[in-house]
Structure 1
Amino acid sequence: MGGHKPTLIITDQDPSMKVAIEDIFKSFVHRFCMWHIMKKVSEKVGVSLNGNEDFNKSFKSCVWGSETPLDFETTWKSIMCRFECDKNKWLSHMFDIRSMWIPAYFKEVFLAGILRTTSRSESENSFYGNFLNPHVSLVEFWMRYDSAIEAQRQKELLADNNSLHSLPKLLLDRGLERHGRDVYTHENFYIFQQELWIACVDCAVENKKEEDGMETLHIIDNSEKNSKLREVVYNPSNHNSICSCKMFQDQGIPCRHILCVLKGKGLNEIPDNYIVNRWTKFANRKPLFDIADNVSEKCSEFENDNKLISDLWDHFFKCVDKARMDKEKLHFMLNEVVNIEKQLDEFEGGSKQTKDDDIQTFIGSNIPDQVEILPPKMSKTKGSGKRIKGGKEKAIEQQQKRPRHCNTCNQYVTHDSRNCPQKTSP
């Protein structure tokens, strides 16, 4: 990662990981996975509350829908009092550590709209599980990992091709919408388009106040069940805005309230400060490291080389953009690139390496004709053994068991005479 530490890490509630992460990464944000926590609710609150639809709806609304810490705390206490959960130790503990998992406490942290759970990591584990298993050797692992990366990049190329050579349908045909279609990938454009639609249909400026060159606008949002008044602080000099809903800080896409202000100012293009590079069509056209996928141990020492490679790719893609669908220009560019490729092959050491050459370079020695050293026995590590089942899962399994007759208690139950609770010890 070029010596850069992460800005945010999401884990389950493993206490050892919490201590280790705080010790190593001191200046970053650590949060707990909401999926793991919400999954435990039904088990911890008991059968009666778990089947209470009103409780489940109120609890989820409190956790996911609270916009400020004060809103969350007020709603939480109201729910605990209404459903008599004040003495539940688990819920009390979760309230004590609320800043570690409730979204209202870290809305200023950029989560890319998805990073509230470890699902991203779990999906990657599942993906690589199709290529790997615990029994492969180090060299085989490296080759299979390389194949997995190639498969991911193939999907990425298909998505890039779709974004570059097809256009989503416009709903409003406004300048802002057309510019968003040109800038964003399809997936992110649809999010932007939905926000712009609501900004035009369901949002309006309630009142405006000017002070010290800044404008404070109150936007009435009728798209929700209960109409809400949002505050947007707008700077006319650079079109920069801060909205109370914090959607832009969280997802990197301007919210309906900011778009309502921009629409009212008559803008036909999205200001640069609202365009996050990672959501654009050309985000992957600026490689940060070398093209051969070899991440250097000290990337900072090779900063100039990496910049040169990035500049080279930048000029190459500019040429492709200029050629576009002109066959004459494309043929000219293709011939020139083929000639450059032939000249590069003539350079000393410019021959293309095979997979075997890559492996030999990777392990630092030649591949022997006969392998005499066998791989070591697999050792069990955390997560590789049998998964521990929770109380709720055990109870469900018990309910699914077929009842049978017990000769000891003379009843149709899920046990037999060997493990009957009424059986007396000899």
Structure 2
Amino acid sequence: MVGSFSDIGATSTDFCNFRRDLLAYISGADAQMVVEDMYKNKEMEPDFYFDFDLNEDRELCRFFWADTISRKNYVCFGDVMSFDATYSTNRYKLIFVPFTGVDNHKQSITFGAGLIAREDVESYEWLLKNFKTAMGYTPRCVITDQDPALKVAIPNIMPETRHRFCMWHIMEKVGDKVGNALAQNMEFRKALNNAVWDETLSVTTFELKWAKVMQEYNLVQHRWFDQMYKARASWIPAYFQDIFMGGLLKTTSRSESENSYFGKFTNHHNSLVEFIMQYNRAIGEQRYHQKQLDAKGESSFPETKTPLAIERQAAAMYTKNIFYDFQEEIWEGNFTCKITCKTNDDGGYKYTVHETGGNIFENEGVEEIPGCYIVPRWTKSACAQPMYNVVWKACSNTQGGNELRTIANQLWNEFYNCMGLANGCPTEMDIMLSTMQELKGRLQSARQQTRASTTPQSVIESILNATAPAEIQIKPPSVAKNKGSGKRLKSNKEKATEKGKKKVRTCATCDRPGHDSRNCPERKALPDE
């Protein structure tokens, strides 16, 4: 954009040195600068919510925030939520906990986020209380892993919310629990998966299938399987058929995907100021893609495969990703279903439909999807039909940052308009070129004068949009010690796998393990020379 590498005016070493100066500038004031920035956001956005907590040494130990757009998204798509702690996002090793949901495009969105120093019940309860206060409502269902602190915190703070365990985390442990022989038995794996993963099973059918697998493979007295069966209402799909799961059907994969996404923007060297800046960039990109999908849905119409009115209705009503899922069902139904009987019933026709597999259905010639089967959250107008009745105040958009952004957008728009009008006309292009070259010369002269009076500190303050406080009241957190902050504990399976890959040292004489050449039995058996 500036012309060439020589016009950038800085090297990679300069950027490293600048970060060194930045960290020195915010040293000691890291936490307080973040809190003060949140207060500024609150002044600009009345619906911005945040809270923080200090320990006995006045060090920041807990932090939660949710901006206006995040809270509005929750009102529209907060029926089901998932969250999973992630590590290595900041230099203090605070645990990052983003709250993740699914929008009407089946894409992941972030409802809010928190930082905590410890993964204990008290910290999670504090985090969930603030989430509940910020949103005003609790989700119908929350999906997490089997963290013992969460098992206590969620029922205490959100008693009306169903807590569901991640099925993937549970089923991943099966191989370690049953032993090598049964873990490699494909018939056992297939039978267990058919009982556990099938979301069409009723509670009674699941319990019968589970009992059959346990008896057939002598697992009735197995301690771990007995524990999982007692907790079946917290993870088996049959027990959640009364709750709309919104795409987060069985696992925390959405949260793990979000953790990976944020990991592209953050690293374990980030200060809190840098972390918040990177978090805002990640959220900005996420919302940009969401707006792109909204725009594509409004400006284009997906291609239909059949002449059915019901498919055209779905194309006009649902977002593209949802429509394509619906279209697959319509297309498959054309080959798996057939009308076997048509009768006249009081002036209307009644159809008998046979499906491959023996299922029989009767309907009265439905041409469109009945309203009772349309879930508003999957439609293009989902944001206009929020699930929760919350009135949001209009936020002012007259702040300096937004004004500059608006002017910049207008400037780019005018530039491209002028370029489009002048393109192909040499005279007009020459006039435009000379005008821009003249303007460029004036801007370069002004910048050189500005650089002469610019100090490194003023540059840092302009980038951070904040100044270091004269008095520090909130201290940066101490480096936390959690299961994700040090060396990870390995399972027995991982240890055995690594041991199998490790090259065993052998004797130089007989090439056998367990001894060296000096103590080799074959060498001792040789006669003395």
Give the TM-score range, shorter chain. 0.5 to 0.7
Partner residue in 2 for 1:32: 165
**Which of 105, 108, 116 lines up with 2:250 in the alignment?**
116
Partner residue in 1 for 2:236: 102
**How far off its partner does 1:29 sit?**
0.4
1:18 aligns with 2:151: yes
**How far off its partner does 1:32 sit?**
0.8
Partner residue in 1 for 2:94: none
Q: Secondary structure at the match of 1:405?
A: coil
Contact 1:288 1:306 in 2 (8 A): no
Partner residue in 1 for 2:212: 78
Equivalents in 2 of 1:276, 1:143: separation in Å?
36
% identity of equivalent residues? 40
Equivalents in 2 of 1:287, 1:416: separation in Å?
74
Spell out the pairing of 1:175-324 with structure 2 (5 A cutoff).
175-203=309-337, 220-222=354-356, 227=357, 229=359, 264-284=363-383, 303=391, 305-306=393-394
Contact 1:184 1:281 in 2 (8 A): yes
Q: Considering only CA atoms, is the larger Rg found in Structure 1 or Structure 2?
A: 2
Cα gap change, 1:220 to 1:113, in 2 (>3 Å): farther
Cα gap change, 1:395 to 1:179, in 2 (>3 Å): same
Paired residues, number: 312
1:390 aligns with 2:524: no
Equivalents in 2 of 1:207, 1:102: separation in Å?
38
Partner residue in 2 for 1:153: 287
Partner residue in 1 for 2:184: 51
**How far off its partner does 1:157 sit?**
2.5
Contact 1:175 1:267 in 2 (8 A): no
Equivalents in 1 of 2:516, 2:379: separation in Å?
63
Provide Cα deviations, 1:333-357, integer angstroms capped at 9, x if missing partner.
xxxxxxxxxxxxxxxxxxxxxx979
Q: Note the aligned Cα RMSD (angstroms).
A: 3.9
Give the TM-score of the pair, scaled to structure 1. 0.63
1:61 aligns with 2:161: no
Compare relative contact order (CA 8 Å, sep 6+) and give the higher one, 1 or 2.
2
1:378 aligns with 2:479: yes
Which blocks of at least 5 consecutive residues in structure 1 are unaligned? 209-216, 231-259, 290-298, 310-354, 361-365, 418-426
Equivalents in 1 of 2:395, 2:482: separation in Å?
40
**Which of 140, 152, 158 lines up with 2:274 in the alignment?**
140
Equivalents in 2 of 1:106, 1:206: separation in Å?
35
Contact 2:376 2:385 in 1 (8 A): no
Equivalents in 2 of 1:16, 1:149: separation in Å?
28
Equivalents in 1 of 2:463, 2:372: separation in Å?
43
Equivalents in 1 of 2:142, 2:340: separation in Å?
39
**How far off its partner does 1:286 sit?**
6.8
1:404 aligns with 2:492: no
Partner residue in 2 for 1:329: none
Equivalents in 2 of 1:380, 1:207: separation in Å?
69
**How far off its partner does 1:144 sit?**
1.6
Contact 1:277 1:283 in 2 (8 A): yes
**How far off its partner does 1:375 sit?**
4.7
1:4 aligns with 2:104: no
